[in-house]
């Protein structure tokens, strides 16, 4: 009689363990999806930060310099680290950032006269953020791909940005 009771309770334990495994699997799946969304939003925010850093640096590069009518064309993003056209150590950006979405270099946007005027991501993924961009980036609203998010030279702010160039 005692063996019948043990058999009945062991079957119940097996069912309870299976139910717990299924529930834990579902919860892990939900947590994984939330984590993926969180990481995508973080990479998107980093894309905005890094793209803005490049845009501001390129804007400062294209600002007229003392004794010059116009800045020379920007032919390489490395020139933003240390301006080869000046005698002083002039830096426009602290370091060259990688595209946070692809892990590769940014795609430079070129103008035939001024050289590089901006950067863009090479990712064709659809962006999560569609509205409520920071000031100066409102033009990113409604874009269908990250590659359409172009961080370009802003001539209207060039004179204001000139004062923030770092010289050592």
Mean pLDDT, residues 149-166: 62
Residue 23, in any domain of the structure:
no
Written as six digits, the tokens of 45 are 């925010």
Tell me, letter by letter, the H, E, C secondary structure of the chain.
CHHHHHHHHHHHHHHHHHHHHHHHHHHHHHHHHHHHHHHHHHHHHHHHHHHHHHHHHHHHHCCCCCCCCCCCCECCHHHHCCCCCCCCCEECCCCCCCCCCCCCCCEEEEECCCEEEEEECCCCCCCCCCCCCCCCCHHHCCCCCHHHCEEECCHHHHHHHHHHCEEC
Answer yes or no: is pLDDT of 50 > 90. yes
Average pLDDT of the chain is 84
Q: What is the largest CA-CA distance in the chain?
A: 104
Q: Give the structural domain span for 64.
A: 49-167
Summarize the confidence of residues 6-31 as an average pLDDT.
79
Distance CA(107)–CA(128), nearest Å, equals: 21
Contact 100, 43 (CB under 8 A): yes
Contact (Cβ atoms closer than 8 angstroms) between residue 147 and residue 122: yes
* Mean pLDDT of the 143-160 span: 78
Domain count, the chain: 1
Pairing state between β 107-111 and 90-91: unpaired
In a domain, 25, yes or no: no
Please state, in angstroms and rounded to a whole number, the distance separating the CA atoms of residues 91 and 3.
Answer: 83
Evaluate whether residue 151 is within a structural domain.
yes
Inter-residue contact 106 to 119 (CB < 8 Å): yes
Q: Which long-range contacts (CB under 8 A, 24 or more apart) does 37-42 make?
A: 37/128, 40/128, 41/128, 41/129
Asked if residue 29 is part of any domain, the answer here is no
Tell me whether residue 155 is in a domain.
Answer: yes
**pTM for the whole thing?**
0.74
Mean pLDDT of 15-40: 85
Averaged pLDDT, 93-119: 93
- Domain assignment of residue 32, yes or no: no
Does some domain include residue 8?
no
> What is the model's pLDDT at position 2?
56
- Whether 102 is covered by a domain: the verdict is yes
């Amino acid at each position: 009689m005692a063996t019948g009771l043990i058999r009945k309770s062991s079957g119940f334990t097996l069912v309870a363990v299976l139910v717990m495994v299924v529930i834990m699997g579902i919860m892990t799946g939900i947590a994984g999806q939330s984590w993926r969304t969180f990481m995508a939003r973080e990479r998107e925010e980093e894309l905005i930060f890094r793209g803005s850093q490049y845009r501001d640096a390129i804007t400062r590069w294209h600002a007229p310099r003392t004794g010059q009518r116009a800045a020379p064309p920007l032919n390489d993003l490395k020139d933003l680290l240390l301006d080869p056209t000046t005698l002083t150590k002039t830096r426009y950006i602290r370091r060259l950032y990688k595209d946070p979405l692809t892990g590769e270099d940014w795609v430079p946007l070129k103008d035939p006269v001024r050289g590089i005027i901006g950067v863009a991501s090479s990712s064709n993924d659809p962006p999560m953020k569609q509205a409520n961009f920071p000031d100066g980036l409102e033009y990113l609203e409604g874009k269908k791909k990250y590659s359409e998010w172009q961080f370009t030279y802003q001539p209207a702010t060039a004179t204001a940005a000139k004062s923030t160039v770092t010289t050592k």
